[in-house]
Chain A
Amino acid sequence: MPGTVGPMAAAPAFELRGVVAGPVDRPILRDVTLDLPAAGVTAVAGPSGAGKSTLLRLLNRLDDPVAGEIRWQGRPLSSWPPTELRRQVGMVFQRPPLFPGTVRDNLRVACPDVDADRCARVLDEVQLPPAKLDESASTLSGGEAQRMCLARALLTDPAVVLADEPTASLDGVARRSIEELARGLAESGVAVIWVTHDTDQLRRIADHVLALVDGRVACFGHLPDLDHHDDPQVRRIVGAP
């Protein structure tokens, strides 16, 4: 589509057209039009208040835009039953929301019929030992809790995982571990859309970068291309050498 911003040739996962979100009198996202890829890791970067988290909430349909349209797999988001859409579009939050009970209880919220084998496999996928299954979720460390939340989201077999600054409150080791998980997911065919403030992290994980400034798309493309962008603010956002 003419005027559409997007770095890929393949069919996009999400298509945004003229999207406005937030309060009508002071929108957070303003007239955003872009195609988000259905593969790889897309890092969403930009200053605070740029609309990064708002964008992710729209994609999981926790909020609706006040204007414009979002399509998922070619169909308007509003035409999908919200529960079905959200099982295809998983979301991991900055502060992992823990549900009462054990790790197993938490996994069962996402998939009530999950058996022990599947639980063990998904924990292995996020590098948690199976012994954690019967531990209280409230006793997990920050990194373990975030990995459990990722495991919970993976139990619905999502095509995309939205990650809203998932490592913001973690130490260096835990942060690297979650980043490796995201890369692993992308390589296994699950697209990852990852909000980050951290330019080093962005450069470690991103295939594509979407830079938002004041609720508008400042740039969207492959990371190496953006290193030579004309706008110094974009070069700063992507941490160009």
Chain B
Amino acid sequence: MSAGPMSAGAVQLLAWGGDAVSLVSSSDGSTNRADIGLAGLAASGILVAIAVAISLWRRLGLERSLLWASLRALVQLMIVGFALKLVVDPGDSLWWSALWLAVMLGFAAWTTKRRAPEVPAVLPLSLLAYTAAGLVTLGVLFGFGVYELEGRTIVPLAGMVVGNSLAATVLVSRQLMTVASEQRGVIEGRLALGLSAADAFQPHLRSALRTALVPQIETTKAVGIVMLPGAMVGLILAGADPADAVKVQVSVMYLVLGSVATTTAVMSLGISRELFTPAQQLRRFETTSTDS
């Protein structure tokens, strides 16, 4: 692989959410080793049959769920793959990619709202957080020419940003709301001493951010030892040089780390502002009596 930006002819990296599928063709476009064909796809379905057989054998009652999840994943990915073809062809306008991104960000924000409905202003805050993470991380990767700015790189990389940040964003949001409720006495104890709202909430903010980031750090540390990540596996299966696959994977891993850090930081700062009034009072989000 060349030392310059990874181009469309060398690497086609398609990703959605936290999973990645990689397609590699040689630079002259003669071979596409990633094409496993319909027969190959059907054969891999044997693995689902094995899971179903285990469920039947141990009476887990998960046969329908396993079949439904497998079928649903196949259909969803086929739809996404088909839709991506409309966006990632080199001749396509970048506006299609921008539209795709807008839908993806909106859907992520809506999902966050659905999973953490108790968070104040969750929709605009999460939209801001995902957008900020996208701008920061993709700005670095495209700004330094790590990848060429085109549909086939923008959309999958943004998918990695949003997909991997979503769980951490929901986690940090819910944790901050739990802390604001369960640690109300401690927070108001600090406020009553004359601390500002930001200072009074700082220890809890720090703790929530650590909780959200530590799993990501652990995952990053474990890469290569206890697991091989999806993008790298996909590239190697598709015939890429493992050294090249490692470089792509490392850049994707750093992208995920940076996006989780940015999203959770923006989200938690936004929530901590929403939790307090301008008079530095901790708002109440439940109908409870204040008197004893």
Chain B residues numbered 205-232 whose CB sits less than 8 Å from any CB in chain A: none
Query: Do the beta carbons of A83 and B192 come within 8 Å of each other?
Result: no
Stretch of A44-52, A120-128, A227-235 that contacts chain B: A44-52
Binary per-residue interface labels of chain A (76-95) against chain B in the complex, 1 for a CB within 8 Å, 0 otherwise: 00100011101100110111
Residue count of chain A within 8 Å CB distance of chain B: 40
Query: Do the beta carbons of A83 and B292 come within 8 Å of each other?
Result: no
Query: Do the beta carbons of B191 and A62 come within 8 Å of each other?
Result: yes
Query: Do the beta carbons of B194 and A84 come within 8 Å of each other?
Result: yes
Stretch of B73-81, B142-150, B181-189, B255-263 that contacts chain A: B181-189
Q: Does A64 contact B (CB under 8 A)?
A: yes
Min C-beta distance of B159 to chain A, whole Å: 39
Query: Do the beta carbons of B185 and A78 come within 8 Å of each other?
Result: no
Q: Does A153 contact B (CB under 8 A)?
A: yes
Binary per-residue interface labels of chain A (5-32) against chain B in the complex, 1 for a CB within 8 Å, 0 otherwise: 0000000000000000011000010000
Q: Is chain A's interface secondary structure helix, strand, loop, or mixed overall?
A: loop
Query: Do the beta carbons of B193 and A110 come within 8 Å of each other?
Result: yes
Q: Does B46 contact A (CB under 8 A)?
A: no
Residues on A with C-beta less than 8 A from B282 are: 62
Stretch of A35-43, A53-61, A175-183 that contacts chain B: A53-61
Q: Does A100 contact B (CB under 8 A)?
A: yes
Q: Does B273 contact A (CB under 8 A)?
A: no
Chain B residues numbered 167-200 whose CB sits less than 8 Å from any CB in chain A: 185-186, 188-196
A61 to B277, CA, bound (A): 11
Query: Do the beta carbons of A51 and B291 come within 8 Å of each other?
Result: yes
Q: Does B281 contact A (CB under 8 A)?
A: yes
A94 to B185, CA, bound (A): 10
A50 to B290, CA, bound (A): 11
Q: Does B39 contact A (CB under 8 A)?
A: no
Binary per-residue interface labels of chain B (44-79) against chain A in the complex, 1 for a CB within 8 Å, 0 otherwise: 000000000000000000000000000000000000
Query: Do the beta carbons of A62 and B192 come within 8 Å of each other?
Result: yes
| Among A78, A82, A95, residue most surrounded by chain B Cβ atoms (within 10 Å) | A82
Q: Does A165 contact B (CB under 8 A)?
A: yes
Interface residues of A (CB under 8 A from B): 22-23, 28, 48-54, 57, 60-64, 78, 82-84, 86-87, 90-91, 93-100, 109-110, 149, 152-153, 156, 164-165
A-B pairs, top 3 by smallest CB distance, nearest first, are: A97-B189, A87-B194, A91-B192
Selected A-B contacts with CB under 8 Å, 22 pairs? A22-B290, A28-B289, A28-B290, A51-B291, A57-B290, A61-B279, A62-B281, A64-B279, A78-B279, A82-B279, A83-B280, A84-B194, A86-B193, A87-B193, A87-B194, A93-B189, A97-B186, A98-B186, A100-B203, A110-B193, A149-B189, A153-B192
Interface residues of B (CB under 8 A from A): 185-186, 188-196, 203, 277, 279-282, 287, 289-292
Kindly list 9 other residue pairs between chains A and B, CB separation below 8 angstroms, not including A83-B194, A90-B193, A109-B195: A23-B287, A28-B291, A52-B292, A61-B279, A61-B281, A62-B192, A63-B281, A100-B203, A156-B193
